[in-house]
Every structure is written in C-alpha cells, then in structure tokens.
C-alpha cells in the first residue's frame, strides 16, 4: 500500500530496516541454539555459532543504528518505519489470535509447528 500511495522508494526504505532486524533475529537464534543444544553439538560448532551469531547481531545493530540515525542520508522516514512496526505488530497479533482460537475451539497447540521434525 505504501508503494501505491507514496512511491516505491518509501516502501523500500522500510524494507531495508525490516531486513536488518530479521538478520539480527537470525544471529540471536544462532546464539540461543548453540547455548540450548550444547550437549547435542560439538564444541567447535557451538563456538562457531556463538561467534558468528554475535558478530551478525553486532553488525546488523550498527547498520540499523546508522540507517535510523541518519535518515537524510539513507532516505528513511516515519511512514516507512511505521509500516515495519505495523507488520511486526500484525504478525504478533495474528499469531496470538490464531493460537488462542485453535487452543480453545479445536484443542490444538500451534506452537508445536515450530519444533524440529526428526530426520528419520
């Protein structure tokens, strides 16, 4: 919708911030996975995940800071950032609503969809 009403570049600015935030989440997931599964993976892999995850978080945090701190250089604006925040809030709301409805009406816990499926 933003691309239709305010020009495609405005929509792209918000997408850049969203992508940086998503990569930060991937780095955090790598660190969390290495800590939670420390008995299941080798020390070399665990250390590599912690280092690369931490570096990913640091770099993406710096890039996000630069992008948000200097909007005149990067072209960001409150509308583009509002779209990103709105998308995140919409996702949280939809997940919470779906979880509540499926648990109450059908007795299904949808959080199990995020568990790992064994390879065998």
Q: Distance (Å, rounded) from C-alpha 23 to C-alpha 120?
A: 30
What pLDDT does 23 receive? 94
Residue of 7 and 72 predicted with greater confidence:
72
91-119 per-position pLDDT tens digit: 999 999 999 999 899 888 887 776 766 66
pLDDT > 70: percent of the chain: 78
- Is residue 22, in this structure, part of any structural domain at all? yes
Helix residue ranges, H only, the chain: 2-6, 8-36, 43-69, 71-74, 78-101
User: Is 84 within 8 Å of 14 (Cβ atoms)?
Assistant: yes
Give residue 13's domain range: 2-114
What pLDDT does 62 receive? 94
- Is residue 52, in this structure, part of any structural domain at all? yes
What pLDDT does 73 receive? 67
Q: Which residue has the tokens 């007795």?
A: 107
- Is residue 88, in this structure, part of any structural domain at all? yes
Overall domain count for the chain: 1
- Is residue 120, in this structure, part of any structural domain at all? no
- Is residue 62, in this structure, part of any structural domain at all? yes
Work out the mean pLDDT of the chain and round it to a whole number. Answer: 82
User: Is 55 within 8 Å of 24 (Cβ atoms)?
Assistant: no
| Nearest in space to 31 (alpha carbons), one of 63, 12, 53, 8 | 53
Q: Is the pLDDT of residue 18 over 90?
A: no
């Amino acid at each position: 919708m933003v691309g239709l009403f305010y020009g495609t570049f405005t929509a792209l600015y918000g997408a850049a911030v969203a992508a940086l935030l998503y990569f930060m989440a991937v780095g955090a997931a790598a660190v969390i996975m290495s800590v939670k599964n420390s008995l299941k993976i080798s020390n070399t892999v665990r250390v590599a995940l912690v280092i690369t995850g931490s570096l990913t978080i640091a770099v993406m945090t710096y890039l996000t800071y630069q992008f948000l701190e200097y909007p005149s250089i990067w072209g960001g604006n409150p509308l583009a950032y509002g779209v990103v925040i709105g998308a995140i809030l919409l996702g949280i709301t939809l997940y919470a609503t779906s979880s509540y409805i499926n648990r109450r009406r059908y007795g299904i816990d949808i959080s199990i969809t995020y568990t790992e499926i064994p390879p065998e």
